[in-house]
Amino acid sequence: MALLDRTIVRFLPAMPRQVVRRIADRYIAGEELEDAVAAVTWLNADGRSATIDVLGEEVERPFEAREIVEAYDRALGAIEEHELDANVSIKPTAFGLKLGYKLCRRNVETLVRAAAERDNFVRIDMEDSSTTDDTLRLYRELRGAGLDNVGIVLQARLRRTLDDIAALADLRPNVRICKGIYVERWRIAHTDFDEIRGSFVRCLEALCETASFVGIATHDEFLVAEGRRIATERYEFQMLLGVRESLGDELVRAGERLRIYVPFGRRWYEYSLRRLQENPRIAGYVAADTVGRMLGRNGSR
Ligand SMILES: Cc1cc2nc3c(=O)[nH]c(=O)nc-3n(C[C@H](O)[C@H](O)[C@H](O)COP(=O)(O)OP(=O)(O)OC[C@H]3O[C@@H](n4cnc5c(N)ncnc54)[C@H](O)[C@@H]3O)c2cc1C
């Protein structure tokens, strides 16, 4: 399977954009804010809340980071105007982290304050391990500035995460725990499937002790079951748009809170390609899912 995944990924850039778009379509709300609003309206009607992600990462110039802040500000405005049950998720590199920590901090703080004025919440996604320290520092500084409407993401894949949970405990943080999408070196990350699962469970147990709220972000049935066993209050499940919808249905039917991650924007091509290149396993899922749909099966949803 690993070879097949890598082969799919190698040929993706050679595929016509429309083909990549067809593959990505199900995982992205569309190119415009109104597409995201339509998707979230539908999700809300279906008993799910949402978190909106404006596509774009690793900006190269400060004005691009500024444009992302403005795009998020419009998303917050639309959430308020349409009375949606949604918050936003942001990527530090899209806010200028690779151009300088201070620039990123200024941009993120501007957005978190704008969200606070609208009584909304900003989740800072966790990117690859080169950004972990800065992202944790950013979270701590924002909380230190009195901003409580902000949360962070921790990745069970990283060996450091239990220590990070302990270090954050004084803040009573609002944390999304996920496996982590970026492929990292063995030295700093668990690479074995069961080890990552085990780490997820230990991190979740620790967070239930120390966090003010936990987002359990997974489509792994085993971890969903563990989440339901371990978490008793101040938690929700989180899933990606278009992934394992039948598992999400089960959770909602069982009375669990479920939030769907809804990416939108014109940079869908770069986003899709990078996501797939970063983790060829995802390409395998997507290919299996696409073939399954062509054959009329929906087992992997
Ligand atoms: C709401 C949310 C937010 C996230 N935020 C971050 C973040 O900030 N930083 C970060 O590093 N990672 C993030 N992730 C990604 C996460 O770390 C994992 O890479 C991803 O969720 C797959 O792990 P899994 O727990 O679902 O388990 P897996 O074992 O990888 O997946 C379980 C099953 O779900 C299906 N599946 C999973 N992903 C996909 C997909 N993309 N397409 C089709 N089928 C799929 C497959 O059928 C697979 O067998 C987020 C995930 C979610 C759900």
pLDDT (tens digit per residue) in 25-79: 888 999 999 999 999 999 999 999 999 999 987 799 999 999 999 999 999 999 9
Cα-only R_g, the chain: 18
Q: Which residue has the tokens 């500035």?
A: 145
The pair of three-digit structure tokens given for residue 90, joined into one six-digit string:
């942001």
Q: Please work out whether the CB of residue 278 comes within 6 Å of at least one atom of ligand 1.
A: no
For residue 195, the one-letter residue type is: E
Would residue 301 count as lying in a domain?
A: no
CB 289 near ligand 1, within 6 Å: yes
**Strand bridging mode 174-178 / 86-90:** unpaired
Which one of 49, 55, 150, 243 would you pick to mutate in the ligand 1 pocket, going by the greatest count of ligand atoms within 8 A of its CB?
A: 243
| CA–CA distances in Å: residue 19 to residues 8, 16, 275 | 13, 5, 16
The reported pTM is 0.92
| Catalytically active residues, by annotation | 125, 176
The finding on whether 220 has its CB within 6 A of some atom of ligand 1 is yes
- Please choose from 188, 224, 285 the residue to mutate so as to test ligand 1's pocket, defined by most ligand atoms within 8 A of CB: 285
- CB distance 232 to 225 below 8 Å: no
Ordered DSSP codes for 38-78? HHHHHHHHTT-EEEEEE---S-SSHHHHHHHHHHHHHHHHH
Q: Are 24 and 272 in contact (CB under 8 A)?
A: yes
pLDDT beyond 70 at 129: yes
* Domain count along the chain: 1
Q: What does each C-alpha distance from 271 to 20, 139, 252, 268, 274 come to in angstroms? A: 11, 24, 29, 5, 5
From 40, 157, 240, the mutation candidate for ligand 1 (largest count of ligand atoms within 8 A of CB) is: 240
Phi/psi zone of residue 153: left (φ > 0), alpha (ψ -120 to 50 degrees), beta? beta
Q: What percent of the chain has pLDDT over 70?
A: 89
Between CA 218 and CA 200 the distance in angstroms is 10
Judge if the beta carbon of residue 204 lies within 6 A of ligand 1: no
Q: How far apart are CA 14 and CA 10, in angstroms?
A: 8
Q: Which domain holds residue 227?
A: 29-264
- Calpha distance 199→160 (Å, rounded): 10
CB of 104 within 6 A of ligand 1: the answer is: no
| Distance from residue 107's CA to the centre of ligand 1 (Å) | 27
Check: CB of residue 252 under 8 Å from CB of residue 47. Answer: yes
Is residue 163 pLDDT above 80, yes or no? yes
User: Where are any strands of DSSP class E within the chain?
Assistant: 49-54, 86-90, 122-124, 150-155, 174-178, 213-217, 235-240, 258-264
How far does the centroid of ligand 1 lie from the alpha carbon of residue 262, in Å?
13
The answer as to whether 128 is a domain residue is yes
Dist. CA 235–CA 19, nearest whole Å: 38
Helix residue ranges, H only, 150-189: 161-168
What mean pLDDT do residues 157-184 have? 97
pLDDT in tens, 200-258: 999 999 999 999 999 999 999 999 999 999 999 999 999 999 999 999 999 999 999 99
Q: What pLDDT was estimated at residue 284?
A: 73
pLDDT at 290 over 90: no
Q: 23 or 128: which carries more pLDDT confidence?
A: 128
**80 CA distance to ligand 1 centroid (A)?**
28
Q: Considering the domain boundaries, does residue 299 fall inside one?
A: no
Tell me the per-residue pLDDT of 6-18, one tens digit each, with 9 for 90 and over: 677 777 677 777 7
State both tokens at 134: 């800065």
The per-residue pLDDT for 271 is: 72
Q: What is the pLDDT of residues 77-107, one digit of tens each?
A: 999 999 999 999 999 999 999 999 999 999 9
Indicate whether 4 pLDDT > 70: no
100: in domain: yes
User: Per this entry, what is the length of the chain?
Assistant: 301
**Residue 73 lies inside a defined structural domain of this protein:** yes
Report CA(42)–ligand 1 centroid distance (Å). 22
Ligand 1 atom closest to the Cα of residue 275 is: 41
* 188 pLDDT higher than 90: yes
Q: Is position 293 within any domain?
A: no
What CATH number is given to the structural domain containing 178? 3.20.20.220
Residue, of 2 and 150, whose pLDDT is higher: 150
Domain assignment of residue 167, yes or no: yes
Instruction: Choose the most confident range, by mean pLDDT, from 13-22, 80-89, 267-276, 287-296.
Output: 80-89
Helix (H) or strand (E) run with residue 128 in it: none
In a domain, 85, yes or no: yes
Between the CA of 33 and the centroid of ligand 1 the distance, in Å, is 24
Phi, psi of 259 (to 5 degrees): -115, 135
Cα–Cα dist 88/76, whole Å = 8
Residue with tokens 């944390």: 175
The pLDDT confidence band at residue 301, using thresholds 50, 70 and 90, is very low
